[in-house]
Structure 1
């Protein structure tokens, strides 16, 4: 009897040890990442990716409202319907340029600040557009500065030298006749890594104006702390022009044009959704924290102002706006080409959809 009991207990111990060695399928730790939702099992992610024609595709995210079509295309399933398993990754401007150059990022959004980079060798082209103006210049509430001429001899805060607010400011000032030479211009620029610090500098007099992306200028205007003296989306010289374009990797365009077409179809569907359903789009963007904007009402207002809708004959409009900004950047010295018309023709590529 004692011998039988010992055999039973030995069997139980061996069975228990085997159980401990077996993987617990119902409580595995998720380490893979796919889509926008966060984590998923590595094997599940691999199986899921295998069902997509173009597999997993990385898209850079920025937290700005400008990139909302990418987020909406993820959340509404537009990418997935085109055979794409989307993965959003954080990437700054330089990382985006490298990603486009190598083909890691097939598409990213960006303003005309990319034009000089293309001239300098970044292998990307304009393949589409997203929306109208999103840059504003603010001055302290009640400031005597009202127009470009009032900024002569003054200092403007920007996020970075060479960035879009910097270039937009120079286009506005240069068009008004001010000298915008990068070394000896009529206006000085002071960069700030943090937009909130830029507004503090404006309030304490360290700078005379702040050139920034929305939504911060609009938020401060609503609070009554600033006056807006320039709005890229409303200024007569720039209104109704695309400022935020879609840039495609030349490598992907050459190697897999069908993939590029699929991406653009998904993004255009997302643009139309934002235009037709701004309240629902704003709810998605704010609640899912795709943007730094938390005020849904403000997001709706900006969506309407930016005009995301896909337009008839949009190719012609995009070509016209690329040409317009190429001419402007040449005029103020940010493009070196002797033929901005030829440059604009070269950097825009029509993609069949």
Structure 2
């Protein structure tokens, strides 16, 4: 064969080797460029978390250079200390528990970057025939709730505002799956919880929450507080601002898609946890959009943001009611600099 053949063959092999090496190098660079983010949720996998799964499984986080790992949570208040301790970079949980930590340990407290539950879901629930008609009727009674329940954590604030003598109220803890059982059996007089969570737990027991239960909502008694938000470690947000901005951008994209097509969102929930009941999780998602994410301010400032005056009042309520050592500034608690532009965020949450 002509020498040129061997020369060309060697050239092809050399180019192929260089191409393979370049591909491996690019893959290594791409992998290295993915910023790892561990996210802890507020609770076990369920319908109202659909946007997190959509953002992950459809590659929206990855497109922003993020390698996101999502873990189940143990309560809306429990995710804050996990992020503060460094076990996670991000979390989804109760803003009021974050205020509490920001007052006591400002250097450790995470910072919220995207508000989801802008309508207070906190409630006390009693049986329909209960003699408890007003907050004052709670005196001399026993209220139960999981230790990390957001409504339980806020009860001192609620008691002060509603003029309930908290020293006359007994509080007991139980596993979350026993709350509604203990209430219906009369083992407790009232229960702490979120309206949507308690309603669906009651339905699973064969109860009709609209007929068998009554809800004393914190928001109806002067506590127009924000609730669950996405937050990041203060150190991580400082050192990785583009990663936080990318996370919020990806999440906001997924939120808009789930609002437009809840069934699609539930598809991704079911992929994450196939043993769930699809229709129940869809109901939960729609109830959350309706009850917890539809504050009138959304039309004005867009989902994800907060009203500064309302946030300041919320912080003041929590600080005063719990006799906290200092009052955090709104900017310590919520940082809107990571939000997408107003036009890119939803103006309504129900179609």
**Under a length normalisation based on structure 1, what TM-score does the superposition of the two structures give?**
0.71
Deviation per residue, 1:146-194 (Å, 9 max, x gap): 221221221111111x6412134443332221133xxxx23221111x2
SS at match of 2:168: coil
- Among 9, 30, 40, the residue aligned to 1:50: 30
The unaligned stretches of length 5 or more in structure 2 are 1-23, 341-351
Q: Does 2:194 correspond to 1:208? A: no
Is 1:332–2:332 an aligned residue pair? no
Q: Is residue 176 of structure 2 the alignment partner of residue 188 of structure 1?
A: no
Query: How many Å separate the matches in 1 of 2:241 and 2:318?
Result: 30
Name whichever of 275-284 and 289-298 sits farther off. Answer: 289-298
Q: Is 1:303 aligned to residue 288 of structure 2?
A: yes
Of 238, 245, 255, the match for 1:254: 238
- Out of 313, 322, 332, the position equivalent to 2:301 is 313
Q: Deviation per CA, 1:241-285, whole angstroms, max 9, x where unpaired? A: 531122221111211111111111112222222322223223432
Q: Are 2:138 and 1:151 equivalent residues in the alignment?
A: yes
Q: d(CA) in 2 for partners of 1:172 and 1:51?
A: 48
Structure 2 CA distance for aligned equivalents of residues 101 and 159 of structure 1: 21
Structure 1 residue aligned with 2:58: 76
Q: Would the aligned equivalents of 1:272 and 1:308 in 2 still touch at CA under 8 Å?
A: no
Partner of 1:18: none
| Paired residues of 2:55 and 2:251 also in contact (CA < 8 A) | yes
RMSD (CA atoms): 3.4
Say which structure is richer in helix: 2
Please give the alpha-carbon distance, in whole angstroms, between the structure 1 residues aligned to 2:254 and 2:275.
16
Consecutive unaligned residues of structure 1, counting only runs of 5 or more, are: 1-43
How many residues align? The count is 298
Give the 5 Å matches for 1:16-27. none
1:333-348 matches, cutoff 5 A: 333-337=322-326, 340=327, 342-348=328-334
Of 189, 200, 213, the match for 1:227 = 213
- Give 2:126's aligned residue: 139
Alpha-carbon distance between aligned partners in 1 of 2:51 and 2:221, rounded to the nearest angstrom: 26
Q: Which has the larger radius of gyration?
A: 1
TM-score under structure 2 length normalisation: 0.72
Distance in 2 (CA, whole Å) between partners of 1:84 and 1:229 is 41
Segment of structure 1 superposing worse, 256-265 or 142-151: 142-151
Larger relative CO (CA 8 A, sep 6+): 1 or 2?
2
Distance 1:349 1:313 in 2: 14
Deviations 1:5-26 (A, max 9, x none): xxxxxxxxxxxxxxxxxxxxxx
Cα separation, partners in 2 of 1:76 and 1:166, compared to 1, 3 Å? same
Decide whether aligned partners of structure 1 residues 210 and 128 sit closer, same or farther in structure 2, where only a CA change above 3 A counts.
same
8 Å CA contact 2:123–2:195 kept in 1: the answer is yes
Matched, 1:113 2:113: no
